[in-house]
Chain A
């Protein structure tokens, strides 16, 4: 047992994707968790005397156009962004997996109808779909998560359906069917656990897309509301100071890059983990 654990650790350290992914995500998570308890400044506290300052010991990422500490805002903003991404993935992957599994397993008319609806959803760019939902139900974090979640359903449904179709005709499923296993048990106990590798990596890729989509929507002004920060919101506020104070736009941008990179590495690592 101990030997197996040791082997696993060895394998883990040898896999650069997993290693770097974990280190990067660890850094980001550490920053977020510390931010829940302590931040150098209050993220919405304005200070007219310290507008648009550069990187210094006092403000390690400088200050923004309202004199707010960018590092505190990045800590707060990455928490918001991560929460939105998690919420989005729970809805998107949850609904997507159920729809994908049912359509894939039963096939026939259900498959045809549901998948055509999914195709129609696919035809909308996900950002556009989210924009429509936000403009109908108003602006807010719940609406944002729900709309992004719905926008993410089609891709998960497609992936899961494909995998289920592949597994469905395998021998062990045939055998289970002969024993008389119920449909529900078949899907959730026999099929889904066998596609978890693909699902896990697509969830991590989905995380990336959710982070970027939240940034995009906040950039368009329909994401999180001022004065609260999210990474995308900060980018959008910072763009007009790109030339006068580059650190303001670079710092939140860098954290987005780290988050996306971390998720991507983890996803790749998990896929390669045999």
Chain B
């Protein structure tokens, strides 16, 4: 009897404990559900919570999700100092926080930003900028000409250190003319230098730019957690068109395989550069914007090795490779064909007619091979960086296409760092498939590498006509004339078949249908200020 009673007591208290625990746990669950429906199960509680609380405190009771946007980014920010952070992934985020004297727009034009207007002297040596009237930093202070001088000189490395931007070595001096004018004097004439002046203007008074980022952009910095997120909020004193969304979180999505699940679960609202396969898995909750990656994907041929030193062989390959077929296989037909080393986003320089220099013609290709002394074809190796799936796939399609003309292409995958050292720097390769992008908004960023003695000329292209045309383009200041010479360069590349130009790869951006207004830029940036709630 005694014994049974004690068991009963113990059982009873155990039951109580279990029940209490359950109640607590369950109530915790339900309140969670109401609080952040945006959260799926991937350990980002902290990130979402912070936003939720900031959003709640600043908006009225009808706090809806539309006052905040969560953007997935593939890698962490590599520093908060805009001048010392060079990662492309960092630049795309900082575009929203910092501005230079000029700023790129979606059409590839450079518009005045911190400066309200600029003049370039006849000899393209002196650039004079007028400070925008009343423009403020995020901390509320007015931007002064001293800040501009400080920011530019910081990049020049006036204290004797290496210039942070290589092109800044050619700045002779930055002079303050008066309270609202600054002039940048160059050592040598350079009519393209404006493209370098997108560098962030930051306050000279800020002693710790590496921990407290202050800029003039449409969003201001709130906080960041390494490997987790980067949070910004709207800057209400912005000089230009103000942003629509109040709070923006850039959430680091290091696991590319989880993106579809994170989007569907609602823990991110937007993600750039997803693959067509991922797009196919998404539900109709999302709007998919299709743009281009702004790079020139090609089967780059080493013009210095046999048999590619013969222009007829290179042309034969151009005739044999069908870019449209590659696009069909690799990205379901998406992508834009290119016929030379210029991608379509540079509308001013892009020449769509060059796409037709070589229309797929197997007979013609075989004929050219015969003329060049390879009637039975030949064998070569395509070295592809293994981390870029789309380039590996492209190489496979090319290899299949080249079989038609009797040419055997073996594919060798190589790790990215080895690619950079062996193929790009060492030039020890026969052919490779990669995409080449432009570092600044000028045609020379893409075309300078084909000059015979250029350090970046990893295809070993060698043409006197090209060198002359490029030199002419560089030395002229007249824009129309310059464009003409650049176009001549492109035509030479196409006719000489410097490489087998294929396409500008498609870029897919996924945005939750609650939002709208995504715009593609010809640079590696995401302009969040243009995104607005969809009614």
Contacts and interface: CB of A to CB of B under 8 A. Distances in A.
B525 interface: no
B280 A48 contact: no
B277 A225 contact: no
Contact of B325 (A48, A135, A222, A227): A48
Contacts of B400: 44-46, 227
A67 B386 contact: no
B401 to A, nearest CB: 9
Interface in B395-413: 395-397, 399-400, 410-413
A241 interface: yes
B329 A244 contact: no
B414 interface: yes
Given A48-B329, A243-B281, A244-B281, A226 B411 contact: yes
A73 to B, nearest CB: 12
Given A46-B397, A244-B277, A225 B329 contact: no
A123 B392 CA distance: 34
Given A67-B329, A240-B275, A225 B411 contact: yes
Interface string B439-469: 0000000000000000000000000000000
A128 interface: no
A221 B277 contact: no
B411 A240 contact: no
Interface residues of A, number: 21
Nearest to A47: B329
A83 interface: no
Which of B386, B389, B396 counts the most A-chain CB atoms under 10 A from its CB?
B396
A227 B277 contact: no
B414 A139 contact: yes
B325 A225 contact: no
A66 interface: yes
Nearest to B281: A243
Interface in B372-427: 386, 389, 392-393, 395-397, 399-400, 410-415, 418
A239 B397 CA distance: 20
Interface in B219-254: none
Contact of A226 (B280, B325, B392): B392
Contact of B396 (A66, A138, A241, A243): A66
B139 interface: no
Nearest to B386: A221
Contact of B328 (A44, A48, A138, A240): A48
Contacts of A48: 325, 328-329
Contacts of A138: 412
A66 B413 contact: no
Nearest to B381: A225
Contacts of B397: 46, 66
Given A240-B275, A244-B277, A226 B395 contact: yes
Interface in A170-198: none
Contact of B329 (A66, A221, A243): A66
B458 to A, nearest CB: 20
Nearest to A224: B413
Contacts of A135: 415, 418
B328 A225 contact: no
Nearest to A51: B329
Interface SS of chain A: loop
Contacts of B418: 135
Nearest to B392: A226
Interface string A16-56: 00000000000000000000000000001110100100000
A226 B413 contact: yes
Interface in A252-267: none
B413 A225 contact: yes
Nearest to A227: B396
Interface in A235-255: 239-241, 243-244
A45 B393 CA distance: 14
Given A46-B329, A66-B397, A67-B329, A225 B281 contact: no
Contacts of B410: 225
A243 B275 CA distance: 14
Interface string A208-246: 000000000000011001110000000000011101100
A90 B470 CA distance: 59
Contact of A66 (B257, B278, B393, B414): B393
Contact of B413 (A46, A65, A139): A139
B438 to A, nearest CB: 28
Contacts of B411: 225-227
B85 to A, nearest CB: 30
Contacts of A221: 386, 413
B405 to A, nearest CB: 16
B421 to A, nearest CB: 12
Which of A46, A66, A226 counts the most B-chain CB atoms under 10 A from its CB?
A226
Nearest to B414: A139
A65 B396 CA distance: 12
Contact of B280 (A46, A225, A244): A244
B277 to A, nearest CB: 5
B332 to A, nearest CB: 8
Interface in A121-179: 135, 138-139
A240 B277 CA distance: 7
A243 B257 CA distance: 12
Contacts of A222: 413
A240 B389 CA distance: 11
Contacts of A44: 399-400
A116 B325 CA distance: 56
A128 to B, nearest CB: 15
Contacts of B396: 46, 66, 226-227
Interface of B: 257, 260, 275, 277-278, 280-281, 325, 328-329, 386, 389, 392-393, 395-397, 399-400, 410-415, 418
Given A226-B411, A241-B277, 20 more contacts: A44-B399, A45-B400, A46-B329, A46-B400, A48-B328, A65-B277, A65-B329, A66-B393, A66-B397, A67-B329, A135-B418, A221-B413, A225-B410, A225-B411, A226-B395, A227-B396, A227-B399, A240-B277, A240-B278, A240-B389
Smallest CB-CB A-B distances: 4 pairs: A221-B386, A227-B396, A48-B328, A240-B277
27 contacts: A44-B399, A44-B400, A45-B400, A46-B329, A46-B396, A48-B325, A48-B328, A65-B393, A66-B393, A67-B329, A135-B418, A139-B413, A221-B386, A221-B413, A225-B411, A225-B412, A225-B413, A226-B396, A226-B413, A227-B399, A227-B400, A239-B257, A240-B257, A240-B277, A240-B389, A241-B277, A244-B281
Interface of A: 44-46, 48, 51, 65-67, 135, 138-139, 221-222, 225-227, 239-241, 243-244
